[in-house]
Amino acid sequence: MTTEVLQQLLQWQSDCDVYEPALPTVFAWVLWENFGYLARPANKFKAWKTWVNSVGIRPQDILRVDAQTQESALHVGILPQNDLAKIRKAAELAMSRWQGDPDKILGLSRDQAIRALREFPSIGLPGAEKILLFLGKYPSLAPESNGLRVLQRLGWISNLGSYSALYKRAQEFADALSEDPSALQTYHRRLKFLGQTICKAKRPSCGKCPLDSFCPKAGVKADV
């Protein structure tokens, strides 16, 4: 059953691969994770392209370009000023701790790398593991909140009481699924996008869901 559902997820025609870009560096990922909090994926991606062209994705760029240019590029999400403050803080940390090159983190052991990544604003354990996944180091599913919700509703993981227990269960489930980094990246993207756009917390659109025929929660109304 799991294989069938995953196949269905892979065949799903959606824009998820368009709106979550492949990024080249640790700092670009830190920037992306702090960019456009709770913005719609399409709006975030559009603003991101403007930011890349007008500001840049290196810590040096963030510290060099004036605040007004940054504000006009980052105008999406519910807390853009907050995002900008965190992005500047991340750039300062990248310069002071990593001499402008946080890719040095990729040479550390897994635990050390996760600790170092978690020093950046907004990067918790899922964010740190996601950055490592997409940069080809220590791959895991690294599901964020939207993906976790889908996994729960499909009945693949159960709520064990705390977020950390739920996250750990999802990682164990994914370990048995695949060790292939590109497969894990695809599952991560698709689960996240499905949770953001269709399997929403309050009113999931089960009628539009590619997995509805497999899902025990199809038609659910509340946050489950």
CB of 5 to ligand SF4, least distance (A): 9
Binding footprint of ligand SF4 on the chain (CB under 6 A): 150, 153-154, 198-199, 204, 206, 209, 211-212, 215, 217-218, 220
Which segments of 12-65 does DSSP mark as H helices, in order? 16-19, 26-33, 41-54, 59-64
Number of Cβ within a 10 Å radius of residue 113: 22
Phi, psi (deg, nearest 5) at residue 122: 65, 5
Cβ within 8 Å of residue 134, ≥6 positions away: 22, 23, 29, 185
CB of 59 to ligand SF4, least distance (A): 38
Q: Is the Cβ of residue 95 or residue 218 nearer to ligand SF4 in the bound state?
A: 218
Q: Is the Cβ of residue 28 or residue 209 nearer to ligand SF4 in the bound state?
A: 209
Q: Is the Cβ of residue 63 or residue 224 nearer to ligand SF4 in the bound state?
A: 224
CB of 40 to ligand SF4, least distance (A): 17
Separation of alpha carbons 201 and 146, rounded Å: 8
CB of 136 to ligand SF4, least distance (A): 29
Q: Is the Cβ of residue 76 or residue 194 nearer to ligand SF4 in the bound state?
A: 194
Q: Is the Cβ of residue 168 or residue 217 nearer to ligand SF4 in the bound state?
A: 217
CB of 169 to ligand SF4, least distance (A): 17
Answer yes or no: are the C-beta atoms of 199 and 149 closer than 8 Å.
yes
Cα radius of gyration rounded to whole Å, the chain: 18
